[in-house]
Chains A and B, each alone.
Chain A
Amino acid sequence: MSRLASHLRVVMVGGVRDAVRRRLFAVLAVLSVIFVALYATGLTFVWHEAQQRALGTNDVGIDERIVIASTFTGLALFAIHFLGAVVGAFLVIGTVRGDAELGVLQALLVRPLGRTTYLLGRFAAAAVVAAAYVALMVLACFVVSRVVTGWWPDSPWLAIARMSLASVGLVAVGLLGSVLMASAANGVTTFMVFGLALLGGLLDQLGEGISSPATRHVGQWVLRVFPFEAMYQWALDALTNETVGMERLVVTLGPFGGARSHDWGIVVGQVAFCAVLLTVASWRLRRLDL
């Protein structure tokens, strides 16, 4: 194995090992189980109530079963999008300045380990953990939706892949922040970026709802700058991308910046977004006194 690959492996394995052993991760695991349990409970109640109203196709030709199941699953995806951001951000929040203040970093970077290699290793570790966490949570919610309602997303694996890729964007934001600022400031900044991107999605949705091209334009620009939000919209779209008719119209206008179809350019945009942030982080880290 080349020296670069061995260094990358040590940093990455160390990063994953550190991540899963943090107390935060144990707390998160418990909260995640509680979240899935609450989701199952809530969906069961709603479904039961709806069935008592003799669910079926209503007067305007909408199958309420599809609407209820997909909307609730979409809501769950929003919550998971947020949880994925929490996981991604907290895995890297103190990667550079935080670890340097604790004296963890110096012993590693005094070795013939490139600072860019270190960053890439930590990014890969956090990205793998965050993406795996999001994938597991989304899959759990899909299974719950299936068991309770009998509904299953049109393209579940696409939805999982897009949600996972969305979480990686926040990892890159948090990693750059860890080079530029202290952990607390980085946490605040990372969630402000998350909120800003979310706002972009809402503006895009709102602009469509009120037929305001200017509002949509602003929203779409925000989505271009922060493509992880667009990835989330695209994941929502995968829930019902093969659904047609009135149901399709209703579920597309889902909550919190709902489903929107994008093309593969957004994946390129997301990869470029991460690459640019990592390049800036690497450039800054190479000049940083530790």
Chain B
Amino acid sequence: MSAGAAAEPAAAIEATALRKRFGSHEALAGVDLRVAAGEVVGLLGPNGAGKSTFVKLACGLARPTSGTVRVFGEDPRSSVARARIGYLAELFRFPAHLRSDELLRDHQVLAGSEGDLAERDDLLARVGLDDAPTRRRRIGEYSKGMQQRLGIAQALVGSPGLVLLDEPTSALDPSSRLDVRTVIEGLRASGTAVLLNSHLLGEVERVCDRVAIIRRGVLVAEGGVHDLDAASGTVSIETDAGTVTHRGVDRDAVAELVAGHVAAGRRVYRVEAVGSALEQAYLEAVGEDRG
């Protein structure tokens, strides 16, 4: 960087040629990925593609075999970086005998948060666990979905600059998923970067700015959600002459197809995307590795 040039703010995550090997298995084979501060990025890929490994490297729970990963310019294993990270693991368990308030209080101490009771109230309200009877119950009495929501609240303790969510909605019902989406949108609005590792493409499509698709440890596609959306898709058009399915059409082509039906004197009742365009892009990117 030349002297006097404005310093570019450090990315929330900056992975360069990141490799991770477990014995003879190469979980990540040189991934380059950047998540800017305040950006919400979805990490997609089939089971065993290396998504969770990437997340663990990014939060300092694992060490790369080679390559580098930085969180806000720091080694994620450093306490400086970890003070800015919130993390919800795919598989987690909290001590069953604790209450939500006690758990969050412990995490406040560990995270160095001075938010105190007000922060705990706010976090529990954001995930819908703030009513008095729920707060009196022990975590062991919570349903899986409630524990997952508490896990999200735990990840947000101390207002981290980067939140890593590994399958945060896997145990949630549709209305709880909507709550999580609201939480993530709130994080984006507050300038918090989010890396969302999820199998739920619709979820990713709704909340993420960008998507990265990993296959066999390699980043095979990356871009804005709408860039990938525009790439291709399948559209079903219902007319008075029957329903026609068009494959491999992009966003602009849909309008032309509808215009063509109208010009042919047909009445168009419904135009429907069959599966999401992101789903199509995902399936093309992962090929035969569909988990």
What residues of chain A have their CB less than 8 Å away from a CB belonging to chain B? 3, 6-7, 9-10, 14, 17-18, 21, 102-104, 106-114, 287, 289-290
Given contacts A6-B109, A104-B95, A290-B56, contact A110 B61 (CB under 8 A): yes
8 more CB-based (< 8 A) A-B contacts, given A9-B109, A112-B82: A14-B106, A103-B91, A103-B93, A107-B89, A109-B61, A110-B59, A110-B60, A112-B79
Closest to A107 in B: B92
20 interchain pairs, CB-CB under 8 A: A3-B112, A7-B109, A10-B110, A17-B95, A18-B97, A102-B93, A103-B91, A104-B95, A106-B56, A106-B61, A106-B89, A106-B92, A107-B154, A108-B110, A110-B61, A111-B111, A112-B79, A289-B61, A290-B56, A290-B61
Known A103-B92, A106-B92, A114-B79; contact A289-B87, beta-carbon cutoff 8 A: no
Across the A-B interface, give the 5 residue pairs with the lowest CB-CB distance, nearest first: A112-B79, A289-B62, A111-B110, A103-B92, A103-B91
Question: In the complex, what distance in Å separates the CA atom of A6 from the CA atom of B59?
Answer: 22
Q: Which residues of A contact B94 (CB under 8 A)?
A: 104, 107
Interface centre among A6, A21, A112, A114 (most CB of B within 10 A): A112
B85 interfacial contact with A, CB 8 Å? yes
B34 interface residue, CB < 8 Å from A? no
Task: Report chain A residues within 8 Å CB of B62.
Answer: 289-290
> CB < 8 Å: which of B59, B92, B95, B110 contacts A113?
B110
Interface bits B73-105 vs A (CB < 8 Å: 1, else 0) = 000000110110101110111110100000000
Contact between B93 and A104, CB atoms less than 8 A apart: yes
Complex alpha-carbon distance, A167 and B80, angstroms: 37
CB distance from A31 to the nearest CB of B (A): 22
Q: How far is the CA of A113 from the CA of B82 in the complex (A)?
A: 9
Main secondary structure of the interface of A (DSSP, over half): helix
- Verify B61–A10 contact, CB threshold 8 A: no
Chain B residues within 8 Å of chain A by Cβ, number: 29
| Contact partners of A114 in chain B: CB under 8 A | 79
Q: How far is the CA of A290 from the CA of B91 in the complex (A)?
A: 12
Which residue of B has the minimal Cβ distance to A286?
B77
Tell whether, in the assembled complex, residue B85 and residue A21 are in contact, meaning their CB atoms are under 8 Å apart. Answer: no
Give B114 Cβ to nearest chain A Cβ, in Å.
Answer: 12
Which A-chain residue is minimally distant from B63 (CB atoms)? A289
Closest residue of A by beta carbon distance from B61: A290
- Confirm or deny: B126 has a beta carbon within 8 angstroms of a beta carbon on chain A: no
Contact between B79 and A287, CB atoms less than 8 A apart: no
> Whole-angstrom distance from the CB of A112 to the nearest CB of chain B?
4
Q: Are A10 and B106 in contact (CB under 8 A)?
A: yes
0/1 interface trace, chain B 15-55, chain A, CB 8 Å (1 if under): 00000001000000000000000000000000000000000
Mark B residues whose CB is within 8 Å of A: 22, 56, 59-63, 79-80, 82-83, 85, 87-89, 91-95, 97, 106-107, 109-112, 151, 154
Is the Cβ of B110 less than 8 Å from the Cβ of A103? no
| CA–CA, A171 and B192, complex, Å | 42
Q: Are A110 and B87 in contact (CB under 8 A)?
A: yes
Determine the distance from Cα of A6 to Cα of B105 in the docked complex, in whole angstroms: 12
**Neighbouring B residues of A14 by C-beta, 8 Å:** 95, 106
Q: How far is the CB of A91 from chain B (nearest CB, A)?
A: 14
CA distance in complex: A107, B83 (Å): 13
B82: which of A9, A10, A111 is its contact (CB, 8 Å)? A111
CB-CB under 8 A from A7, the residues of chain B are 109-110
Chain A residues in 8 Å Cβ range of B92: 103-104, 106-107
Which residue of chain B has its CB nearest to the CB of A287? B63
Chain B nearest Cβ from A108, distance in angstroms: 7
Q: How far is the CA of A10 from the CA of B157 in the complex (A)?
A: 16
A114 to B59, CA, bound (A): 14
Question: Residue among B95, B109, B112 with the most chain A CB within 10 A?
Answer: B109
Task: Please indicate the chain A residues that have their CB under 8 angstroms from the CB of B95 in the complex.
Answer: 14, 17-18, 104
Contacts of B56 in A (CB 8 A): 106, 289-290
The answer on a CB contact under 8 Å between A112 and B93 is no
> B63 — which chain A residues lie within 8 A by C-beta?
287, 289
Complex Cα–Cα for A104 and B60 (A): 16
Asked if B111 and A107 sit within 8 Å, CB to CB, the answer is: no
Determine if B79 and A17 form an interchain contact, defined as CB atoms under 8 angstroms apart. Answer: no
* Chain B contacts for A106, CB-based, 8 A: 56, 61, 87, 89, 92
Given A103-B89, A103-B91, A103-B92, is A111 in contact with B61 using a C-beta cutoff of 8 Å? Answer: no
Establish whether residues B85 and A110, one from each chain, have CB atoms under 8 Å apart when the complex forms: yes
B66 CB → nearest A CB, Å: 14
